[in-house]
Every structure is written in C-alpha cells, then in structure tokens.
Chains A and B, each alone.
Chain A
Amino acid sequence: DTEVTQTPKHLVMGMTNKKSLKCEQHMGHRAMYWYKQKAKKPPELMFVYSYEKLSINESVPSRFSPECPNSSLLNLHLHALQPEDSALYLCASSQDPQGRTEAFFGQGTRLTVV
C-alpha cells in the first residue's frame, strides 16, 4: 500500500472562513510534506514534518498553519486566505526523513478562495 489520502478533494472557501485540509498515510513513513502547486508550475514546498516535528517552514504566511497530531496524520489549517492562495495542495510522505527514499503524493485538495 503506497497510498496517501487527502480530504477533501475540492474546497471552496471565502476569505473569512476557517477550514482544514487533512492527509493520512499508513505506510509508517516518518517524513510528511505539504506542497502548493499552481497551474503549469512544479509543486512548491511549504512545510516538512520529520518524526512529527515541524522541521522546515518555507516562509509560509501564518494564515497557513500545519499540524501533525500523530505519525499518520498531517493537517493544514487555513484561515483568512486570499484569492491568490487558490491552488492544488499536495501532501506527500517518505520513509526516510534524511531524504534517501522516494516521496508518495496524495491526490491533492483543489482549493478555491473566493
């Protein structure tokens, strides 16, 4: 099983809303990632969790707040987003936080901010 599950698949939210994206994997992977992808661009790293601790925050605005409740789950809390935050949000996981193994991606959440 190389599955990373993301919910919801689609989300439309207003600029004053609070919502959360969820990501789950049961592969025992110890590194989990959030990426943001705009159309015709490669995925852009947002956050990295290594052994459930936030290890990298790529200068992401505080309106995005990650959370890793346990080794299988990763959340991304959204608050007061802007229309330019509309994008595909991808969660990924990999076995080795030292980066020697491939990453597996979830199907993504397509977010539209109105």
Chain B
Amino acid sequence: RKEVEQDPGPFNVPEGATVAFNCTYSNSASQSFFWYRQDCRKEPKLLMSVYSSGNEDGRFTAQLNRASQYISLLIRDSKLSDSATYLCVVLGSGGSYIPTFGRGTSLIVHP
C-alpha cells in the first residue's frame, strides 16, 4: 500500500462548479499535511497547509480527518485558472519527516 494515495483523475468540471479531492495516508503518526498546486512544466507551489481545525483561504478549504487518515481539498466556484495538478504532501509518513507526495490529482476546468 502506498504511503500517500490520491485519485489521479482527471476531474473535468465546468466553471463555477465545486470540486473536492481526497488524499489518504497510511501512517497514523504523520504530523504535517499540505496541498501543493503544480502547473504543467512548473514547480510545485504551496497552496495550503492543513490543520486539525481545518483551513480556509478564499475559495479553497482544506480539512484533516485523523481518525480516517485523510485530508481533503474543496474548491468552490472553480475558475479556468484552477486547472492544474493538486499534490497532497504528508510529513512524518513512513516514520520519516521528509515531504512525501501523493501522485497528484489533475483538475481541468472548462468554460
């Protein structure tokens, strides 16, 4: 079983839609969680940190469910510019504190 798992998608949604991604992690001792966004042929950029209490930034909401060992990212009112790959990153996965990436979820927002 992979340490960090994501549905690769693609998620194909119209502008204005709400879309949610989940990411599961295998190590219950994992400590820190992040969502990164990566555009084609660019570097990953930090989108949000994920806290136990949840985290909201404009149209983006991230949540952590420790009991079920998953984190989620909700995007409301999708824009064309939201089209990208969204990478889930877990620290403290597998007993190490190295950023461990999920395979990424591809989002395509169409007009």
Q: Are B43 and A99 in contact, with the CB atoms below 8 A?
A: no
Instruction: State the interface size on chain B (CB cutoff 8 A).
Output: 23
B interface with A by C-beta (< 8 Å): 31-32, 34, 41-46, 49, 87, 89, 91-92, 96-104
Prevailing SS type, chain B contact patch = loop
Chain A contact residues (Cβ within 8 angstroms of B): what range?
20 to 34
Tell me how many residue pairs across A and B have CB atoms closer than 8 Å: 54
Whole-angstrom CA separation of A104 from B87 in the bound complex: 14
B45: chain A residues within 8 A (beta carbon):
105
Tell me whether A90 is interfacial, beta carbon within 8 Å.
yes
> CB within 8 Å of B: which of A86-114?
88, 90, 92, 94, 97-108, 110
- How far, in Å, is B32 (CB) from chain A's closest CB? 5
A interface with B by C-beta (< 8 Å): 33, 41-43, 45, 48, 56, 88, 90, 92, 94, 97-108, 110
A42: chain B residues within 8 A (beta carbon):
87, 101-104
